[in-house]
Structures are given as C-alpha cells and as structure tokens.
Amino acid sequence: MSMNDFLTTLQEEGYIDEEKIRGIFENEKLQKFFKKETNKKKSSCDRAGEYYPDKCQARIWREGYDNIQCEHDKIDACFCTRHSNKVKEHGTWWLGIITETKPENPIHYNGTIHSWRSEVIVDEVKESQNSDEEKPKRRRGRPKGSKNKNKKTETKDGSSEELSANDIMKLISEKEKESNANEEDENTYILDEISYFKNEDGSILNMADFSLIGMVDNDGKFKFLNDNEEEKHKLLVSK
C-alpha cells in the first residue's frame, strides 16, 4: 500500500480529517516521502460524479460529497477487498453503493452521524475553481520546479527507504502540535471557543464533516443555519 492509500484509509476510518490530509499533501517538506502519482491525485470536487463500472461500487466519504466512488478494482461483482471485508464484518457498507440513492445522515460504524455537503457549497466551490478572476488553485504535491522531487529518505548508512506508517503517524502528531501552537489562520472561525472552518463567502463549516452550520454576514455577525445546528453547537460547548 502506498503512503497515499495509507492516508486515505486513515481518513475513511475517521482517524484523521480531510483538512489534515490536505495539509500533509501540500507541505513541501513532506513531498519527498510520496511517490510521483501523489501529484496526480484528483480533488474531491474533480472526482464528484465520476463513475467507473469496473471499479469498486462503494460510495466513499470525501468532504461531504455524496457522489464519489471508490477508485480501487473490484474483487467480486461489487466491492474491492477492503469494502468487501467491511460488508462481511458489518453486513452492509455504511455509505451505500454509488449507483443507489444516498443514505440520509449516514451513521459510521463508530456511531458518528455524518451530514452531506450542501449543493450550494458544491456549486460555489466549482465556480470558484473555474473562475479566471480567482487566485490560482493550489495543487497538491510539490510546487513545480522545486528540488528533490520524488526523492526517497536516506538512512544513516546511505540506503534509501519509503516513509513507514509509524513515521507518518509521528509526522501527523507533530503537525497537530505545530498547528495548535500557531495563531489562528484565516480559514479558522472560533465560536464560543469551538473551532470551525470558514469559507471565503462567509459560510461556516463543521471541521469533522464539512457540513454547513451557518453564515457570517458582511457585518461580521454569525447566524446558524437552523435550530438543529445551533443545538449541536451548544452540545459541543457544554462538553
């Protein structure tokens, strides 16, 4: 399994969210640990709606999009090895099959309830990426022209090796500590000491599943999307 697949599996299992994975892919110091194909990885927005009959039919979780298909080859009539094992273990795949109607508010095996990304946010993201007036889209992977591209790590004896899973987990931990030590960036919105993700249009998203919880108007005032989202926020505050 490549490091790219390893990180993707960590995200699918709920051990790390999409924002941290994106940060790892975009970190210039970490790019030497990834294979060249990492730079070719499509964004969630680009993969949304694509369908391949010869690939695994499982719908997977990517930033709340409801139409992203697993990219691995099938081992039977429907699933890849991983999703086939999950179905055997739990009786069903929690996000359903890509050709069938999506489950509303799907519940992960660990009990976490997920909310699908709103169609409004999806449209705004696609329009932003296609607009010539917007700043250039940041590409995952090492910037063009940078040195040491595809270079492997070197041990003390001069031999090269791929970054291990333990090293990846250590880097993730260090990245989290560094993130907590830094000041809030422009995409972080703090409400009652709870951190949320803030889009350029003022929409505020839950960092866990990128579901819309509310909006910040031009005067800087925040308003919840509905009473349900406000109750979820109060529950987080009370913990």
**Taking 60 as the threshold, does the pLDDT of residue 147 lie above it?**
no
For 215, other C-beta atoms within 10 Å of its C-beta total 15
Partners of residue 205 on adjacent β-strands: 197, 212
Q: Please check whether residue 211 is in contact with residue 199, taking contact to mean a CB–CB distance below 8 angstroms.
A: no
Give how far Cα 136 sits from Cα of 26, 142, 216, Å. Answer: 15, 15, 25
Q: Would you say the pTM of this structure is higher than 0.85?
A: no
Condensed to tens digits (0 to 9), the pLDDT of residues 101-120 reads 999 989 999 988 988 886 54
**Taking 80 as the threshold, does the pLDDT of residue 76 lie above it?**
yes
Condensed to tens digits (0 to 9), the pLDDT of residues 9-37 reads 777 777 777 778 777 777 777 776 765 54
CA 63 from centre of chain: 5
Which helix (H) or strand (E) segment is 165 a member of? helix 165-181
Condensed to tens digits (0 to 9), the pLDDT of residues 115-145 reads 888 654 445 555 656 655 555 555 555 555 5
Show me where the domains of the chain are located.
Answer: 3-130, 188-238
Directed axis angle between helix 3-12 and helix 165-181, to 10°?
60
Q: How far apart are CA 75 and CA 207, in angstroms?
A: 34
- Across residues 58-70, what is the average pLDDT? 91
Give percent above pLDDT 90 in the chain: 21
Contacts 24+ apart (CB under 8 A), 185-192: 189/216, 189/222, 191/222, 191/233, 192/233, 192/237
* Burial call 121-148: b when 16+ CB within 10 Å, e when fewer: bbeebeebeeeeeeeeeeebbbeeeeee
pLDDT category at 176 given cuts 50, 70, 90 is low
Least confident among 31-40, 54-63, 142-151, 220-229: 142-151
Strands (DSSP E) along the chain, which ranges? 153-154, 160-161, 188-191, 194-198, 203-205, 212-216, 222-224
Q: Tell me the one-letter amino acid at 238.
A: S
**Taking 70 as the threshold, does the pLDDT of residue 149 lie above it?**
no
Give percent above pLDDT 70 in the chain: 68
Q: 63: buried, middle or exposed (CB in 10 Å: 19+, 13-18, 0-12)?
A: buried
First and final C-alpha spacing in the chain: 38
Q: Which residues contact 157 (CB under 8 A, 6 or more apart)?
A: none
